[in-house]
Structure 1
């Protein structure tokens, strides 16, 4: 018997944790299993072809909100090609309303909840060693009738096998890892709130697993633990271990900032720069809205800790907001955005509420006048406080923040415009509306156009001269882009004689095969340090490694 354990990831660089758990948890059983990973950008026909090449007896799909529709279509195609191939579904998207999903889709089986033990029992059943009706956590279909077995209790974390194999090439992947399951909180939009308590792996096992990633020279390990620092002793043991390692691997943690303790921050201050990255779910800065979603914390507590981490200057922080939460209107969301922007984290994510199957938020949708898409990912369309049109405006802001702020490649340009608007939200909203008016949302634009847009925006919307902005954009462009091929609209007015003279002077010190000389008609150093704009010629040399040198005496 051959089982093809199949993942459809959102991006190629992701490594699917679920399918690896299933394979490793049945590694001692004598059957043939193989993992196949695709992405949501793959054509259905290609996925089908690759699956059919393997000639499987069973195809097991890992289903999520981002891939369930594609998986449903592929499963249907598999059955049309060979009706003898059985289909098994598992994952969060089929763990709630499992019976209905199985009734309305092709296939024979659905695993509800944690899949490792149920999948193992399923394999034993296929090998004739277990009765189908005795497999806890399984729904199955016979003669188009769906049957549901007894629910399976949560397993001990120590029973979970390490999911990655020694020979696996993870060099170009984002690797996912979990040291705990569950969450101590009960946020109403989150599926983690449906199970109570947190279960942890043995700490020695965790440290051994992490050494595997370090030895493999993995670029980024993302912990999927819902609240990594809910157990201070456990979190500190892991952080302390990772701080002491000689590695370039970066580790990403989702934390609750408000519960960080002084001794944890003291420990984190010792981390090498870039070793850790934190994701902090702020969601809203409106304390009443926080209570509506069962988050019993206030924004000031979160802000205080985030700023303490920011002051360490060694950990990147990713802060999340969610639009469409119960009780939050457009003005409240704008305030939330401006409050969070004031912190200046490395990344700001504007998400939109998704009313997931099984979440208590979906059950209370009517109470808050929530209309949401019945199709995955079940995103909010409007609430009694936020109209559909207002949500569309927030979508434009989200795209501008993601493209310009989160890329970290437009910092000096953004700095110029922040002072032109009363609040940060106003800038990103105005930019988003301009972006839409110019038709940029509906076409592909080149890298240079993302810079030129600011010149057009400044002239057409702010009605201001581009004299200084052009200099700032050119400097910003040269930091993050190849020095050769500077767009025509960013060329300097330096005369050839002047350029030749300066190069002659510096030829002993710098090779101009590696560096490019540029002249700016303003004091760039003063702008960078004090945000002041002064008329003064300044000269820099740039290379293609984002290195630049200020020629102070020119």
Structure 2
């Protein structure tokens, strides 16, 4: 018997944790299990071809909001090509309406909830070792009638198999890992609120697992623990261990900033720069809205801890906001954005409320006049406080923040505009409307155009001269992009003779096969340090490693 355990990931660089758990939890059983990882960007025809050519007896799909509709279509195609192939679904998207899902889709089986032990028992059933009705957590279809077995209790973390193989190539992957399951909090929009309590792996097991990633030289390990620092002793032991390692691997943790303790921050101060990355779910800075979603914390407490981490200058922070929360109107969300922007984290994620199956937020949707899409990912369309048109405006802001702020490649340009608007939100909204009016959201624009947008925006929207901005845009462009063949709008007015003379002076210090010389009409050192724009020639050399050197006394 061959089972193809199939993941359709959102991106190629992601590694699916669930399918690896299932395979390794059953590796002692007498059957053939093979993992197949594809992405939602693959064509249905290719996914179908990849599955059929494996000649599986059973296809097991890992199902989420981002892939369920694609999986449903592919499953239908599988059955049309070979009706004898059985289909098993599992994952969060089929765990809260399993019977309905099985009734409405082709396929024979759905595993509800935590999957490892149910999948193992399912394989034992297929091997003739146990009866079908004894597979806890399983729903199954016979002659178009759906039957449901007894629910399965949560398993002990000690039973979980390490998901990765010793010979697995993870060099180009974002690797996911969990040291705990569950969450101590009860946020209404989150599926973690449906189960109570937190279970932890043995700390020695965790440290041993982490050495596997370090030895593999994995680029990024993302802990999927819902609130990593809910157990201070556990979190500190892991952080302390990772701080002491000689590695370039970065570790990403989702934390609750307000519960960070002084001793934790003192420990984190010792982390090498870039070793850790924290994701903090702020969601809103409106304390009344926080209460509406069962988050009993004040933004001031979150901000205090986030700023303490920021002051360490060694940990990147990713802060989340959610638009469409109950009780938050457009003006309140704008304030939330401006409050959070003031912190200046490395990344701001502006997300939109998703009313997930099984979440209490979906059950309370009528209370707050919420309309949401009935199709995955069940995103909010409007509330009694926020119109559909206002949500569209926020989506434009989100795209500008993601493209320009989060890329970290436009910081000096953004700095120029921040002083020209009363609030940060106003800048990103105005830029988003400019994109909309120019039709840029509806077509692909080239890399250089993303820089030129600012010059056009400054002239047409702000009616301002580009005399200084042109120098800043060129400087910012040269840090991150190719130095040869600059677009016409980014070329300097340095004369050939002047360039030749300066290169001659510097030829012993710099190889101009590797470095690019550029002249600017403003003192960029002053601009960088104090935001002043002073007309004064300044000279820099740039290399291809995003490094630049200010040339004094030229």
TM-score of the pair, normalised by structure 2: 1.00
Q: CA deviation at 1:456?
A: 0.1
Distance in structure 1 (CA, Å) of the matches to 2:542 and 2:159: 55
What aligned pairs does 1:178-193 form with structure 2 within 5 A after superposition?
178-193=178-193
Deviation per CA, 1:479-518, whole angstroms, max 9, x where unpaired? 1111112111010111112111111222222221111111
Which residue is equivalent to 2:532?
532
Distance in structure 2 (CA, Å) of the matches to 1:200 and 1:452: 51
Say which SS state the counterpart of residue 537 (structure 1) adopts. strand
Which residue is equivalent to 1:543?
543
Distance in structure 1 (CA, Å) of the matches to 2:259 and 2:451: 41
Which residue is equivalent to 1:487?
487
Say which SS state the counterpart of residue 182 (structure 2) adopts. strand
Deviation per CA, 1:430-462, whole angstroms, max 9, x where unpaired? 000000111100001100000000000000000
What aligned pairs does 1:455-474 form with structure 2 within 5 A after superposition?
455-474=455-474
Say which SS state the counterpart of residue 66 (structure 2) adopts. coil
Say which SS state the counterpart of residue 222 (structure 1) adopts. strand
Which residue is equivalent to 1:334?
334
What aligned pairs does 1:150-299 form with structure 2 within 5 A after superposition?
150-299=150-299
Instruction: Identify unmatched segments of 5+ residues in structure 1.
Output: none
Deviation per CA, 1:228-252, whole angstroms, max 9, x where unpaired? 0000000000000000000000000
How many equivalent pairs are there?
Answer: 554
Note if 1:433 corresponds to 2:438: no
What aligned pairs does 1:292-441 form with structure 2 within 5 A after superposition?
292-441=292-441
Deviation per CA, 1:349-372, whole angstroms, max 9, x where unpaired? 000000000000000000000000
Which residue is equivalent to 2:123?
123
Q: CA deviation at 1:5?
A: 0.2
Which residue is equivalent to 2:12?
12
Say which SS state the counterpart of residue 92 (structure 2) adopts. coil
Distance in structure 1 (CA, Å) of the matches to 2:280 and 2:342: 15
Which residue is equivalent to 2:98?
98
Distance in structure 2 (CA, Å) of the matches to 1:130 and 1:31: 15
TM-score of the pair, normalised by structure 1: 1.00
Instruction: Identify unmatched segments of 5+ residues in structure 2.
Output: none
Distance in structure 2 (CA, Å) of the matches to 1:335 and 1:352: 16
Q: CA deviation at 1:283?
A: 0.1
Say which SS state the counterpart of residue 522 (structure 2) adopts. coil
Q: CA deviation at 1:191?
A: 0.1
Note if 1:79 corresponds to 2:79: yes
Deviation per CA, 1:187-225, whole angstroms, max 9, x where unpaired? 000000000000000000000000000000000000000
Deviation per CA, 1:271-300, whole angstroms, max 9, x where unpaired? 000000000000000000000000000100
Distance in structure 1 (CA, Å) of the matches to 2:545 and 2:351: 33
Deviation per CA, 1:129-174, whole angstroms, max 9, x where unpaired? 1100111100000010000111000000010000000010000000
Deviation per CA, 1:98-126, whole angstroms, max 9, x where unpaired? 00000000000000000000000000000
Say which SS state the counterpart of residue 93 (structure 1) adopts. helix
Distance in structure 2 (CA, Å) of the matches to 1:540 and 1:328: 48
What's the Cα RMSD here? 0.5
Say which SS state the counterpart of residue 521 (structure 1) adopts. strand
Which residue is equivalent to 2:68?
68
Say which SS state the counterpart of residue 509 (structure 1) adopts. coil
Runs ≥4 residues deviating over 4 A: none
